[in-house]
Amino acid sequence: MRETWKKRLGITLAALVTLLNFSAPVQLIKNIPDELRVLDGQSYAINFNLPGGIEVKGENVEVVGSTAGQTLAEVNDGHTPLELKSSGSSGQLELSLFGILPLKTIDVKVIESQSLLVGGQSIGVTLYTRGALVVGTAEITDENGDLHNPAQEAGLLPGDVIISAEGMTIEDSEHLSQIISNSKSESIPLTVERNGETLEISITPVKDMLDDTMRLGIWVRDSTAGVGTLSFCDPTTMKFGALGHAITDLDTGTTLTVKDGEIMHSRILDVTKGERGQPGELKGTFLDNQEVMGSISKNTQFGLYGTCYDLPENPIYPDPLPIGVQSMVTAGPATILTTLDDEGIKEYDCEIVEVNRQSKPTAKGMVVKITDKDLLERTGGIVQGMSGSPIIQNGRIVGAITHVFINDPTRGYGIFIEWMLSEANSE
């Protein structure tokens, strides 16, 4: 009987905990972000929308507006929106029930206010990788007619980047071929990068019976080119951001490392309209004019970054616009800037339909829906080549387009501008 009673009590307690976990107040607390990022000197309205009796204590943060002069510790109504303003340094908000039961600690990060030249220009990208990217392996027939796959036997995989061979840094694929052809060693040491790790691999080349050339049995790539959109240029540092996502190898999906590269003015030749299940595309050319805009230094999952040689011109926003961090982004009307033809940059209406508050960078901070009739008529929504198109809301640049929804080309993701700036300014 006692065991049955304990079992029933355990089940009841488990059910109560589950119900409490999914209750409205607990879900509201969970939905409060762990971190708020605010601009220095700018206020931010937050509505906890929690039951009364919630006490808020603050450090280096003050309440402004109708409750100016109060400290957060004096505000106990969980339903009243609080307008917060940093005192110049990062701090914390602590939420507790009646000042007794801790509920949530929110880090308040203060970001320096700044203004950027807004992009929207179509750019051509030429990128030369560091080392040689392995995109495939192949069998080789030796002098005796026997088949070998030296790359596979050595453990090389598609997506590996060969950084050096026989202690020599690889300049490009041709350089790698020369090292292999001139090698007198039976086994060649390779330094390889794989998924962020450095590996040492030994490989035995095979003489190809077709041309008597020593080969490793690999297909490699050392460069790529394409079209995208410039997002911004910092007029103070001349650093730019573009695309909002990484340039990856078409065959392996590997993010390409950067040895060097350039961005150039691009001319859009044609637009393939996007449809459900079939992304559209901007088709452009840039190699015929060689109007170089800047050099590339980084290719990351959050975009392409480097330095502009000259300040880019934007006829719609000739002067820099202030940035808007994610705490200032709201669901509602916005615009994007992009280029579809020789008429240059145009501004198109869109709507931010979802804002995903983040404490760590991702390329999916916002869900954006294209509402502009002209843009929908011409492109169907978001197409390849529009990645990097800056997003403007309330007179501020708040981010850039990154990806399109395959099954709904009218919608796509956007990255917050603060993450792009962090990438642009980091080493």
Q: Mind telling me the catalytic residues?
A: 245, 372, 387
Q: Which tokens hold the place of 280? A: 């559209």
For residue 310, the 8-state DSSP code is S
Is the distance from CB of 286 to CB of 232 less than 8 angstroms? no
Pull the structure tokens for residue 153.
């036997």
Tokens of 145: 């007619």
Residue 147 is which amino acid? L
C-alpha distances in angstroms, 49 versus 24, 31, 167, 285, 353? 11, 11, 62, 52, 21
In 3D space, the residue among 246, 280, 282 whose CA is nearest the CA of residue 409 turns out to be: 280
For residue 250, give the DSSP letter.
Answer: T
- Nearest-angstrom CA–CA distance, 424 and 427: 8
Helix (H) or strand (E) holding 219: strand 218-233
Which amino acid belongs to residue 398? Answer: V
Residue 11, C-beta contacts closer than 8 angstroms, at least 6 positions apart: none
Using a 10 angstrom Cβ sphere, with 0-12 exposed, 13-18 middle and 19 or more buried, the burial of residue 330 is: middle
How far apart are alpha carbons 64 and 81 in whole angstroms? 11
